[in-house]
Amino acid sequence: MAAGSSIGTVFRITTWGESHGTAIGVVADGCPAGLHLTEEDIQKLLDRRKPGQSKFTTQRKESDQVEILSGVFEGKTTGTPISMIVRNLDQRSKDYSEIASCYRPGHADFTFDEKFGFRDYRGGGRSSARETIGRVAAGAIAKKFLAALNITVTAYTKSIGPVEISRERMDLKEAANNRLCMPDAEAAREAEAYLEEKMAQCDSAGGVVECVIHNLPAGLGEPVFEKLDANLAKAMLSIGAVKGFEIGDGFAASASCGSVNNDAFRMRGDAVVKATNHSGGVLGGISDGSDVVFRAAFKPTPSIARPQDTVSRDKKEMELTIHGRHDPVVVPRAVVVVEAMAAITVMDMLLLSMTSRLDMIQLFFQVEEGSDEE
Amino acid sequence: MAAGSSIGTVFRITTWGESHGTAIGVVADGCPAGLHLTEEDIQKLLDRRKPGQSKFTTQRKESDQVEILSGVFEGKTTGTPISMIVRNLDQRSKDYSEIASCYRPGHADFTFDEKFGFRDYRGGGRSSARETIGRVAAGAIAKKFLAALNITVTAYTKSIGPVEISRERMDLKEAANNRLCMPDAEAAREAEAYLEEKMAQCDSAGGVVECVIHNLPAGLGEPVFEKLDANLAKAMLSIGAVKGFEIGDGFAASASCGSVNNDAFRMRGDAVVKATNHSGGVLGGISDGSDVVFRAAFKPTPSIARPQDTVSRDKKEMELTIHGRHDPVVVPRAVVVVEAMAAITVMDMLLLSMTSRLDMIQLFFQVEEGSDEE
Amino acid sequence: MAAGSSIGTVFRITTWGESHGTAIGVVADGCPAGLHLTEEDIQKLLDRRKPGQSKFTTQRKESDQVEILSGVFEGKTTGTPISMIVRNLDQRSKDYSEIASCYRPGHADFTFDEKFGFRDYRGGGRSSARETIGRVAAGAIAKKFLAALNITVTAYTKSIGPVEISRERMDLKEAANNRLCMPDAEAAREAEAYLEEKMAQCDSAGGVVECVIHNLPAGLGEPVFEKLDANLAKAMLSIGAVKGFEIGDGFAASASCGSVNNDAFRMRGDAVVKATNHSGGVLGGISDGSDVVFRAAFKPTPSIARPQDTVSRDKKEMELTIHGRHDPVVVPRAVVVVEAMAAITVMDMLLLSMTSRLDMIQLFFQVEEGSDEE
Amino acid sequence: MAAGSSIGTVFRITTWGESHGTAIGVVADGCPAGLHLTEEDIQKLLDRRKPGQSKFTTQRKESDQVEILSGVFEGKTTGTPISMIVRNLDQRSKDYSEIASCYRPGHADFTFDEKFGFRDYRGGGRSSARETIGRVAAGAIAKKFLAALNITVTAYTKSIGPVEISRERMDLKEAANNRLCMPDAEAAREAEAYLEEKMAQCDSAGGVVECVIHNLPAGLGEPVFEKLDANLAKAMLSIGAVKGFEIGDGFAASASCGSVNNDAFRMRGDAVVKATNHSGGVLGGISDGSDVVFRAAFKPTPSIARPQDTVSRDKKEMELTIHGRHDPVVVPRAVVVVEAMAAITVMDMLLLSMTSRLDMIQLFFQVEEGSDEE
């Protein structure tokens, strides 16, 4: 794939739009026909990433109302591209002269200028987190499609700064109760205190999001380059601010032993299952029937309110103080983006997995099996 | 990309072959014309991944001699596909009946059967580490191409099991001196002792490989899905046994603060540089001119000589003891595979980056700049 | 490419929208940064395909005003996706019950139902000619980009029904003067008479569009599957109603002789040129520096006002009379669609052609040539 | 697709090799597991394109023995890449100095030099007809796969120079009896006489190949850019020497009327069928259940034994006489290449068509239908 705003093969999404342009949107192509879909299905997920929901998120007032422009007829997807749009309401003429004329540390200002020669500097332009609106809208479709196959995708905050959830206390329902999406009330309180400290210091924090894909059939993913985990890794690293990805035991596995890290196979009734899940649901790049479990590491928000050393576009060293309010941590709002990107990736690979076996294809086309034998 | 054995867009490689089939190979398409290339260039890199080199690697005797079958004429690449082949010599009729009839823990036996209905069980078939021969052969081309642009790609062992190199002692030349490819002689000795302990316990170890891309121009990578780090992540997770990827400070960044993690911009002569490199050379998915630094985490070798619980193909629980000699750790031989995949990824993105700006394109085609203005 | 509404690699467009949905649009990704672009540039081309312009085109009243939603900043393309939208105004609740319940001969009603299980039957849904709005909008960008490299793309009507233009009388300026886009006033008059006859008979006509790409550098296109002419053929056949494609002498070449069909090479000053252009500007799939000349054959409009035999969705034979006004020929409005698809195809292949030679790449990155030699 | 030697998405082939290099081959990736496949299956098709079979084909003595190197185990495809190779035996050191130093009219010599800076001039290098060996080998797999679904692909010579088969006399079995693959003995005799005349004149001829795909289910192909006929057009134009493509009535449709060209739908038992097949089996880019019928026009062989005007690489005008024996017409040997490319295209689109409908996907994954409804 060359042009950079598309991802996926059979189910492919293309996002577009800048932070302070007219609108933000996505075209989701290749969704099978016959899926019930309404704007409410999309809006529900979009509302989970909306700013202005707590003291830890930006106060930008955007209702972020989605409109479905194509691809749905009489309440069902038609198999043709589903175009969705969210108008940017908050385009008030702010003063961007400072951002325009220098490079914010930790942002893409410098690299955009190097690549394209100039950039839309308003609110970060294309590299703004608002670009994820398109991902989440498409992710809502993918989540609905997967639900129709009884597959669920659930992400939550695993850590903020140094504060981690406890596996013992972990309770997924709790993640919906606190503003940090942590499935552990105690860790959430601790993390809130940590964030308030960082805000008082004009500083910011990072964190880790964990995601679980439940009920995925075994057999998804291709053996070599199109491994399921390789595509999940790309999908996660494609999210701005993500600096790391791991599946199953991940980096910890590198310090473990084979006798511990190998998951024994056992029978549960008629089904082959794994006694443990160090692999994170993938063996040789192919789903193994266990939960797929992976994590994405987010760096601290680069926009901080204290003076920073940088250089101007005309190549003079200077000191920059970024004004305005910014999230001290992106993680809580990124949880739904992780879910969306995981769902989009899995949906595509599930559709592709249908062509692996001749006998299943013959069944699909209602042709007698074995008809290729002499 | 659906068919799973290809990666890349403009420079695209396709690997093929099973561990105990007739041969293993790769077709590298899209290499620009005019690059000097000989079989020795390829062989040099292949020799770095060859088994039978130390007591920590399998004793399989393979000379792994590469033959270039196309795409090179009078010592230079012609711009057409470069096909390379390595014959499998060690195809002696071993007894594979046990592997054939059950699922080795930590291997892809079960998932292949679920996906394809059956599998070539000899030596792991397509999911064998021998598949990486094709990657390394193609990587040798990519490394030579990048060298022609003064770009280098260097990987080494960062840790084996719990034994890590020390940044203070780190010396890249040392990595060529020890069998574990560690740029720290003391850590290498410690790691050797650790591995001997594991072997005595019929157990295995994992580790981390670090890779540095030096002298990469700023501006490579696309803003949204085709980020440079997203493609590196996919390339790394596409290597069997890799369970994690991180760039720059990676997972550690998630526990850091913005004031620490942000890299200040400074001037060095006429050039904009970063005072630190927490970002690992990528901002917003686009190379920023600093070294690109990333790590891949490898799980412990799944083939261990102690009895393991598993199930047979006919769905009966059983105990399996894997015979034969296996590497107690894959990391030292994986170092060159990481280098190869990094070079392949970067070469492709560098070629794609040439089309970012109209003024550069006009220059390339020797057309007067600004001719689109009214 | 699986998901079907995208075309192109480096410059890739994705169209969306149904005839009577909310809107129609396109996302054009991968346009180089720095191209001057306004909504007027797009509107000018769109106005050439607008209905309601003569008695030979439908009377649907659509202003088809385009809005650019992203990817342009301060009058120039930014290198990020350019999203464009045209609202469908003419959505008056017509009675579609008949089209909904049966299969119009020559239309895609039956095949959509077979493929997707149901369809948006209003005005042909996704298979309506209104889908080409997205193509033309993206084509306007491609034409502007090519113009910045002094390359022009010009299409015109070569024949309508049995009436062909005469090469002797041919005058490209004349194509803008008559409603049929024929570069031959006499043929245009004859063709008008033919069309009036067909309309009186409640019948319709087809025709051929010819396209010339001027000033294309030699060296575009890839030797095997990605031939320039192969991609032009796909682009043309992707237009609804096109049933044939030929380049240079095309089908006539199959009845010719080598001694006639071969174009001799000659010198014109310092440049190698061809004495004739039977090849149509492509040799071995690669542009040869002569004008690229190709033709697309359009079938007669399938919507005719006389009774036709067909079957209903509930599988009963019936007679159908299509009401409403339809173009007796699609060719005049298709001329600009041919131009757009040609420009999109050529722009993509031109960008891809920049990576063919190491010496040119070294020049581009300002690296000393020959640095890969030992 | 950028790198030019691959085609297809789910079933994707990559050809490689030059006329006088070490070998020629193909990697066919994405073939479903479980298809019975032997080297004989491949050889049978390869033998149909072999040179040296009649006085109208080159006397090059090549046995063209294929070897399957991977992807087949115990007689069945494993779902992994199938690599196939044919060694070039006839590499005798011929004198290529003349071809090396000038541009043969009608060949790709000039365009290769323009694109790549130099070329492998031996026997045409990559643009030699020997490249089609890889296509035919992969096509043999596709034909076998399609046969397992009861779908057949049959091509034959429709015309040579001005000599066409008669629809009345047409008999497909006859095509196997004569050296020109014409399903009409009388036309074959006439065409032989025509070819002998051309050979006597040191000249050459072109022709048209027609292809019929029988028993293809309705519903293959995507509505917009990935139309079935658009992909067939690309596949055909990707064959060297092809200058035109048409489906159904093709160019003749452009001179026809809607009342004639529209195919009425009728019932045959429970099935919807078309009373005629002017469409050539495709409506709106999607297969309609009728035979898919298309034609490819081949230009006359450019290598002719009479003196031709051309220029040398050092840009001097000169006269060139091509020595050695060349086919006076490529059509008879191209018939099997057309079949191969058609089968490869249709196999890919058939696999992709499996993901069009949610209800079919739910059935495939054995999930209860309608489970996405609220």
- The predicted-structure confidence for D70-123, as pLDDT tens digits, reads as follows 999 999 999 999 999 999 986 665 678 888 999 999 999 999 999 999 999 998
What mean pLDDT is predicted for residues A143-169? 98
Long-range contact pairs involving D363-367 (C-beta distance under 8 Å, separation at least 24): D364/A354, D364/A360, D364/A364, D365/A149, D365/A217, D367/A148, D367/A149, D367/A150
Q: Which residues of C touch D309 (CB under 8 A)?
A: 264-266, 275
C117 and A34 in contact by Cβ < 8 A?
A: yes
- Which pLDDT belongs to residue B99? 84
Q: Which residues of D touch B118 (CB under 8 A)?
A: 33-34, 73, 76, 78
Q: Which amino acid is at C61?
A: K
Mutate to test the interface with A, among D27, D44, D354 (most CBs of A within 10 A): D354
Beta strand B271-274 pairing with A23-29:
unpaired
CB A178 within 8 A of CB A185: yes
Q: Is the dihedral of CA B31, B35, B38, B41 positive or negative?
A: negative
What mean pLDDT is predicted for residues D32-55? 87
Contacts of D369 (CB under 8 A, 6+ apart): D359, D362, D363
Distance CA D145, CA D82 (A): 14
- Which pLDDT belongs to residue D90? 67
- One DSSP character per residue, B212-267 reads EEESPPTT-S-SSSS-HHHHHHHHHHTSTTEEEEEETTHHHHTTSBHHHHSPPEEE
What are D's interface residues with A at a Cβ cutoff of 8 A? 2, 9-10, 30, 32-36, 77, 79-80, 144-145, 147-150, 217, 223, 351-352, 354-362, 364-365, 367, 371-374
Minimal CA–CA distance to D348: which of D94, D6, D3, D5?
A: D6
pLDDT in tens, A87-122: 998 656 567 888 899 999 999 999 999 999 999 999
Distance CA A138, CA B293 (A): 32
Q: Please tell me which chains touch B, using 3 or more CB pairs under 8 Å as the contact test.
A: A, C, D
Tell me which residue has tokens 């210091």.
A201
CB B30 within 8 A of CB B12: yes
Query: Does pLDDT of A352 surpass 60?
Result: yes
pLDDT band, very low/low/confident/very high, at A54 (cuts 50, 70, 90): low
- Here the ipTM equals 0.96
Question: Residue C140: enclosing H or E segment and its boundaries?
Answer: helix C132-147
pLDDT in tens, B13-55: 999 999 999 999 999 999 999 999 999 999 999 999 875 556 6
Minimal Cβ distance to B33: which of C150, C358, C367: C358
Minimum distance, in Å, between the CA of residue A287 and any CA atom of chain B? 7
pLDDT in tens, B211-249: 999 999 999 999 999 999 999 999 999 999 999 999 999
Torsion (CA) D63, D79, A359, D6 in degrees, nearest 10: -70
What are A's interface residues with D at a Cβ cutoff of 8 A? 2, 9-10, 30, 32-36, 77, 79-80, 144-145, 147-150, 217, 223, 351-352, 354-362, 364-365, 367, 371-374
Q: Which residues of C touch D230 (CB under 8 A)?
A: 233-235, 237-238
Query: Does pLDDT of B204 surpass 60?
Result: yes
Q: Which residues of C touch B35 (CB under 8 A)?
A: 358, 372
pLDDT in tens, D317-371: 999 999 877 889 999 999 999 999 999 999 999 999 999 999 999 999 999 765 5
Q: Which amino acid is at B272?
A: V
Across D45-74, b (16+ Cβ under 10 Å) vs e yields bbebbbbeeeebbbebebebebebbbbbbe
What mean pLDDT is predicted for residues B142-169? 98
CB B78 within 8 A of CB B71: yes
Minimal CA–CA distance to B303: which of B98, B94, B49?
A: B98
- HSE-CB at A301 with a 13 A cutoff on CA atoms is 28
Minimum distance, in Å, between the CA of residue B76 and any CA atom of chain D? 10
Q: Which residues of A touch B316 (CB under 8 A)?
A: 267
Q: What is the DSSP letter of B364?
A: H
D264 and C112 in contact by Cβ < 8 A?
A: no
pLDDT in tens, D280-320: 999 999 999 999 999 999 999 999 999 999 999 999 999 99
Across D197-206, b (16+ Cβ under 10 Å) vs e yields ebbeeebbbb
Query: Does pLDDT of A18 surpass 60?
Result: yes
What mean pLDDT is predicted for residues A268-272? 96
Minimum distance, in Å, between the CA of residue B308 and any CA atom of chain A? 7
Minimal CA–CA distance to C273: which of B215, D105, B205?
A: D105
Burial of B315 (0-12, 13-18, 19+ CB in 10 A): exposed
User: Rounded to 5 degrees, what are φ and ψ at B15?
Assistant: -95, 155
User: Rounded to 5 degrees, what are φ and ψ at C160?
Assistant: -130, 125
* Paired tokens of B136: 């390394």
Minimal CA–CA distance to C25: which of B229, D249, A27, D47?
A: A27
Distance CA A359, CA B18 (A): 23
Its pTM surpasses 0.95: yes
CB B136 within 8 A of CB B46: yes
Minimal Cβ distance to B354: which of C36, C364, C371: C364
Minimum distance, in Å, between the CA of residue D35 and any CA atom of chain A? 6
Query: Does pLDDT of B152 surpass 50?
Result: yes
Q: Which residue of A has its CA nearest to C79?
A: A116
Neighbours of A268 (CB within 10 A): 9
Minimal Cβ distance to A69: which of C21, C80, C120: C21
A106 and B15 in contact by Cβ < 8 A?
A: no
- One DSSP character per residue, B319-335 reads EE---S---S-SHHHHH
Spell out the alpha helix ranges (H) of chain A: 39-49, 97-101, 109-116, 132-147, 185-200, 228-237, 250-253, 258-261, 331-352, 358-364
User: What proportion of chain A, given as a percentage, has pLDDT over 70?
Assistant: 94
Across C322-336, b (16+ Cβ under 10 Å) vs e yields beeebbbbbbbbbbb
Strand, coil or helix: A67? strand
Where chain C has pLDDT below 70, the residues are: 1, 51-62, 90-94, 369-374
- Which pLDDT belongs to residue B133? 97
B27 and D5 in contact by Cβ < 8 A?
A: yes
Inter-CA distances, C199 with B245, C206, C331, D18, D257, Å:
67, 13, 15, 56, 11
Distance CA D32, CA A216 (A): 21
How many angstroms from the chain centroid is the CA of residue D342? 6
Query: Does pLDDT of A372 surpass 70?
Result: no
Question: Residue A308: enclosing H or E segment and its boundaries?
Answer: strand A308-311
User: Rounded to 5 degrees, what are φ and ψ at B76?
Assistant: -130, 150
- Which pLDDT belongs to residue B167? 95
Q: How many CB pairs under 8 A join A and B?
A: 391
Distance CA B117, CA A370 (A): 14
Distance CA A327, CA A336 (A): 16
